[in-house]
Each structure stands twice: as C-alpha cells, then as structure tokens.
A and B are shown apart, each in its own frame.
Chain A
Amino acid sequence: MSEVKDIKEKNTKSPHPLGEGGYSTLNLGPTHPATHGIFQNILKMDGEIIMHAEPMAGYIHRAFEKIAEHKPYYQITTLTDRLNYCSSPINNMGWHMTMEKLIGCEVPKRAQYLRVIIMELSRIADHLVCNSVIGVDSGAMTVFLYVFQTREHIYEIFEEICGARLTTNIGRIGGMERDFNDTTWKKIKAVVEELPRILEEFEKLLVRNRIFMDRAIGCGPISAERALNYGFTGPNLRATGVDYDVRVMNPYSSYQDFKFIVPVGQNGDVYDRFMVREQEMWESLSIIKQAIATIPDGPFHAHVPEFYLPPKEEVYNNMEALIYHFKIVMGENEVPKGEVYHAVEGGNGELGFYLVSDGGRCAYRLHFRRPCFIYYQAYPEIIKGGFLSDAILTMSAMNVIAGELDA
C-alpha cells in the first residue's frame, strides 16, 4: 500500500501529468455497458487508481438549441422530451410554463394540480431508475428488476394520458390536452397504493444492506462548497447538505399548496445521493396523495385560443377554431417580445429555459440549462484518486443522462 502511495505522490508531482509517470490509459466508453449512455472517459490509471480523467461529451448532440430557433413554439415540446428522457413530462411542463410566463397566461388550478401529479409521478420513475441502477452497478441486479414493474405502471399512466410512454409530449401551452379519464385515475390510485410496498421492499434490500453500505458510503464524495461552485442542483446538491429545491424556492404550478420536506444528506457521497432520492420518492408520493385529495374542479386549460389547439370537432364545425388551428399549426400566432427564464425542479436538478423572443414565428434564442451538463464537469475531480469501480458507481449515482448532457 505504501508503495502505491509513493507512486501516487511521485506521479502527482510530475510536471507532465499525462503521458509520463508510468500511467496506463484506459478508455472507458463511449459504448461501455456500465456507463448507461454514450459517454467517453479517458482515464489515466495507476494500477486500479484513477489519476486523471478527461470526460468527453457530445456523442449524441442533436443541436436542439439550433432546431428550436426554426420551429414554432408548440413544436419545441417534442425537443424537451429528449433532454432527460427518464422524466420527460417534467421537461414538457417546464417548457409550457416558460411559454405561459412569456405570454402572461394564468393556468387554471385544476390543470396545475394535474401537472403536479404527472411531474411527481415522473420524478418517482426517474429516481426509481437511478437508484436501482446504483444497485446494479454495485452488484445487486435484483432490485432493478423489481422496481421496473412499478416504472412500467407509471409509464402506463402516461400512455393513458397522452398515448406515449418515453417521449411523452404531455400537456399544451395553457394547460393539459385533456382531463384525466377514469382509467387514468384508477391507474394512478393503483400506483399510489402499490408504491409504499415496493419502496419498502426496495429499501429493505439496500438501505441497511451491509455490503451495499460498505460499497456506497464514502464513495465519490463532494463537499457542499465545491458542489455549489460546480453548479450542482437537485438531489446531488441536496446530498451534500444544501436544501435548495426549485419547488420551494420559486414555487411554480401550485407547489406552495403542498406540504413536503426537502430531504438533505451530509457527505455528498453515493449513499447520500441514494438516500436523498429514496426519501424524495416518499415525498413525491405524499404530494401526489395531497393533490388527488384536494384537486379542485374546473377547466383543464386556460382560455388562450392563440396557443391552445382547439378540439377537433370544433375545428370541423367552427370557423374561428379552424382559423386558430391553422394559425397554431403553421406558427403564425403573435408572441410578445421579451426574454424570460423559467426553471423547474427536474429529475436531476434545476432545469431552466432561457427564451428570447423577437415576436417572430420561432424562438429567437432558446437556451436550456441542463443540470447534467453542468454537474458532470465535476466528475474528474470526484473520481480522482479513487478506484475504477468507484468511478462507475459515482457516475450512476450522479444520474448522468446522455440526452440531457448533450442536448
């Protein structure tokens, strides 16, 4: 061990940290099965110890910001689906709310509650995937298979609402495309009922599991100060002990109506990230229950005919609706000039949309604040000096999603 330490000391003092000093180069990715997406990391290894890492981004770059400058506003929703594809409804809602802020549209309370239910369901789906993948990468395949059933049930709810599962395109600018039908409510209630049992089972398998604890505690830690400097948000920031949550700081979509706690960790390591996400799922469940219990009656969309697609039967029978339909589809509606920023608490943190409108057909400039892209920079610093297997576990605990990373 002391030998390793000596080499480590000698190597870190070398004026050429790359190439010299007897490191071996390891190419982790881009299509490595343990990276869960297309990431490449060029690692300089000293035996099992990572001395230097250089992450590469951009393998699935799809130029969303450029495409967004050429699409009518309502078509941009489909781009946001493909950012963090584990929780695309949150991205959709974030975009709708950005547009609603720009055009000054107040969404009815019922639509806001429906949105909250969908967003929290997708947060649960997102965290379930992330946490169970932490299990997989630490050698516990079982949990992954167990919880995927629940994720499937949540995706069935999305399917019932909008017809799609992964890239959902739920909602419209101004509200929801339709109210939930009876089947949807039944499915939501079924998930709400089964989830506590699933989560408890999940926690029994991992939370106090000695092997998992030994593996995860102290693995890939980051201090709160560094995390803030690196622009961390979401569960990864809260795992370091900072209680920043967009839902509480800048409530949107009636989040101020619900009572929930913001779970925080202490050390910012893999175990804390895991536990924060775990607790957040319970909080999301509680929010869904509160929303179901207190959802008011009323319309499910605001009256903004310039932006909200009219129902088909009206398009066929009503002149005005036909005109609006045509204008919306061709992107001819008038949008106020201005610049607006709106952030939602996505699965990974603060997902922001910075939109500059010049009053034209398309967005003049649209910038996505993608939490993954910003906190993935810290990855080399976190894994430096640790083992390769810890690096794999750290990456899955940080929940780096390729779609969000590369936009």
Chain B
Amino acid sequence: MENLLQYIEEKLKAKFGDAIISAEQSYDFPVYVIKREKLFEIIQYLKEDPEMGFEFLTTLCGLHFPDNKGQELGMMYQLHNMPKNWRIRLKTFFPIADPEVQTLTPLFSSANWQERQEFDFFGIIFKGHPDLKRILNMDEMNYHPMRKEYPLEDGTRTDKNDSMFGR
C-alpha cells in the first residue's frame, strides 16, 4: 500500500487519540511511538480488527537509551499482516525506575520466550507474563547485562591492557 503509514496512523488516532505519540517512516517500515499504558489495547486492536489483521508478531526487543531521562528503557514490536504483506513497528518508552509493560502472551504465544529474553537482558517486567524468569543467562545472575552501564568484559580484570587499541 502506498500510504500505509498515514492509513494506520489515522485509524489508530481515531481509536486511541493521543496514545499515538508519533508516526514516521524509517526505511521500509512505518514506525509508531505509542504510550505504554495503551500498548496492549493497541496491539490487540491491530491484531483483531478485520481491517488491520496484524496477526503475526515478527519480533520484539528491548532498547536502552540512558541519555533520554525519564524514557530510558523501551520496547520495540514488529507486526506483520501476511496476506497484505504490511509490516509495521511499534515502539514505547518508559522510565528505568518503573520498567513495566503489559505482556503480549495472551495475544501471541511467541511472545513468551521473547519477553523472557528481554526481561533477562534489560530487566523489563512484563505484567501478567505466566513464567517470567531468566532464559539465556544463569538464574543466579543479579543484573541485566544488555543495559548500557554494563561493560562487555568483566571490569575487575587486571591482566588485560587494551588501551593501545582504544578500548
């Protein structure tokens, strides 16, 4: 569709009003930034409305922008309407002190492990998730390693000096 960005923006704005913060085209994807309070309702509408029909959750992932004060953490969702081949991306941001979003597991079974993965790596709490625990890292880990404040390597090591290489 030519104007997928506008078409869906109008539909969403008509239904959810100011829960849609912004809409823009990023390469081949329409990207909508939405408020986290309405996340579940919006995605439910996109999935279940016959005109929208985004019945496939392609992927989701966490984001961390430490410089955006009050909006540090974020979630990205990509939905796909397979028969019409529409793809859209939804993003929502929230403060790191209150890292809670609604789970999508009632809508998509595929969200289960993916949300566990983002909980594991970013510490994002998915409200209503049936089994929110770590998945790839060990259970004893006490931090969320994909957050930007954690360095790639163990900072306590003294046997490596890479300063010559700008690291």
Interfacial residues of chain A within 324-363, with CB under 8 A of chain B in the complex:
330, 338-341, 343, 350, 352, 354, 356
CA distance A350 to B135 in the complex (A): 22
Interfacial residues of chain B within 1-50, with CB under 8 A of chain A in the complex:
26-29, 31
Determine if B110 and A101 form an interchain contact, defined as CB atoms under 8 angstroms apart.
no
**What 1/0 mask marks residues of chain A from 218 to 238 whose CB sits below 8 Å from any chain B CB?**
000000001011110000000
Determine if B152 and A354 form an interchain contact, defined as CB atoms under 8 angstroms apart.
no
Which residue of chain B has its CB nearest to the CB of A69?
B152
Determine if A70 and B152 form an interchain contact, defined as CB atoms under 8 angstroms apart.
yes
Which residue of chain A has its CB nearest to the CB of B26?
A339
Say whether B78 faces chain A, with CB atoms less than 8 Å apart. yes
**What 1/0 mask marks residues of chain B from 79 to 114 whose CB sits below 8 Å from any chain A CB?**
000100100010000000000000000001110111
CA distance A340 to B31 in the complex (A): 11
Residues of B within 8 A of A66 (CB): 145-146, 152
Residues of B within 8 A of A166 (CB): none
Say whether A7 faces chain B, with CB atoms less than 8 Å apart. no
With contacts A338-B26, A340-B26 taken as known, whether A57 is within 8 angstroms of B113 at the C-beta atoms is yes
With contacts A66-B146, A244-B82, A373-B113 taken as known, whether A356 is within 8 angstroms of B63 at the C-beta atoms is yes
Determine if B109 and A377 form an interchain contact, defined as CB atoms under 8 angstroms apart.
yes
Which residue of chain A has its CB nearest to the CB of B57?
A231
Say whether A192 faces chain B, with CB atoms less than 8 Å apart. no
Number of interface residues of B (CB under 8 A): 35
Determine if B59 and A369 form an interchain contact, defined as CB atoms under 8 angstroms apart.
yes
Determine if A367 and B59 form an interchain contact, defined as CB atoms under 8 angstroms apart.
yes
Q: Considering residues B29, B56, B57, B152, which has the most beta carbons from chain A within 10 angstroms of its beta carbon? A: B56
CA distance A375 to B56 in the complex (A): 13
Chain A proximity of B9: nearest CB distance (Å): 18
CA distance A229 to B104 in the complex (A): 11
CA distance A94 to B136 in the complex (A): 24
CA distance A352 to B61 in the complex (A): 12
Of B89, B121, B134, the residue contacting A341 (CB under 8 A) is B89
With contacts A66-B146, A377-B112 taken as known, whether A57 is within 8 angstroms of B135 at the C-beta atoms is yes
Q: Bin the interface of chain A by size.
A: 35 or more
Determine if A61 and B136 form an interchain contact, defined as CB atoms under 8 angstroms apart.
yes
Determine if A63 and B145 form an interchain contact, defined as CB atoms under 8 angstroms apart.
yes
Of A61, A101, A244, A378, the residue contacting B109 (CB under 8 A) is A378
Of B57, B58, B146, the residue contacting A65 (CB under 8 A) is B146
Determine if A58 and B85 form an interchain contact, defined as CB atoms under 8 angstroms apart.
no
Say whether A209 faces chain B, with CB atoms less than 8 Å apart. no
Residues of A within 8 A of B57 (CB): 231
**What 1/0 mask marks residues of chain B from 56 to 75 whose CB sits below 8 Å from any chain A CB?**
11110101100000000000
Which residue of chain A has its CB nearest to the CB of B166?
A330
Determine if A229 and B110 form an interchain contact, defined as CB atoms under 8 angstroms apart.
yes
**What 1/0 mask marks residues of chain A from 235 to 254 whose CB sits below 8 Å from any chain B CB?**
00000001010000110000
Residues of A within 8 A of B110 (CB): 229-231, 374-375, 377
Residues of A within 8 A of B113 (CB): 57, 373-374, 376-377
Residues of B within 8 A of A249 (CB): 82, 85
With contacts A367-B59, A377-B112 taken as known, whether A67 is within 8 angstroms of B146 at the C-beta atoms is no
Residues of A within 8 A of B78 (CB): 341, 352, 354
Say whether A406 faces chain B, with CB atoms less than 8 Å apart. yes
Interfacial residues of chain A within 41-91, with CB under 8 A of chain B in the complex:
57-58, 61, 63, 65-67, 69-70
List 11 additional contacts besides A354-B61, A407-B136; criterion CB under 8 Å. A57-B135, A61-B137, A226-B109, A230-B109, A231-B108, A231-B110, A341-B27, A341-B28, A354-B59, A354-B76, A377-B110
Chain A residues within CB distance 8 Å of chain B: 57-58, 61, 63, 65-67, 69-70, 101-102, 226, 228-231, 242, 244, 249-250, 330, 338-341, 343, 350, 352, 354, 356, 365, 367, 369, 373-378, 406-407
